[in-house]
Amino acid sequence: MPIRNKVKQFVDGLGITRYRFQKDTGIAPSTAYNLYDNPDWIPQVTALNKICDYYRVQPSELIYWVPPEEIKEDKEDK
């Protein structure tokens, strides 16, 4: 998928744990951990809204678009 998340960088930049991130936002623990551990995991709109509301940030601080050719290159490198 040409969209990836940068939740790990966001959470690490805040200096908090995945657990604190999950508790602060109220999202499901599995969602918080999947977002942190897997950049290909894209949050559902409900979770994205909770994160943005709590931290007062734009969605672009949490997700970004990747050109399809870069994804193809990533797969070929593996």
Amino acid at 69: E
State how far the Cα of 73 lies from the Cα of 78, in Å rounded to an integer. 9
Predicted TM-score (pTM) of this structure:
0.84
pLDDT tens string 35-73:
999 999 999 999 999 999 999 999 999 999 999 888 766
For residue 37, give its domain range.
3-77
- Helix ranges (H only) for 1-78 are 7-14, 18-25, 29-37, 45-55, 68-77
Residue count of the chain: 78
The residue with tokens 């734009």 is 58
Judge whether residue 5 has pLDDT over 90: yes
Q: What is the CATH number of the domain that holds 14?
A: 1.10.260.40
Number of folded domains that form the chain: 1
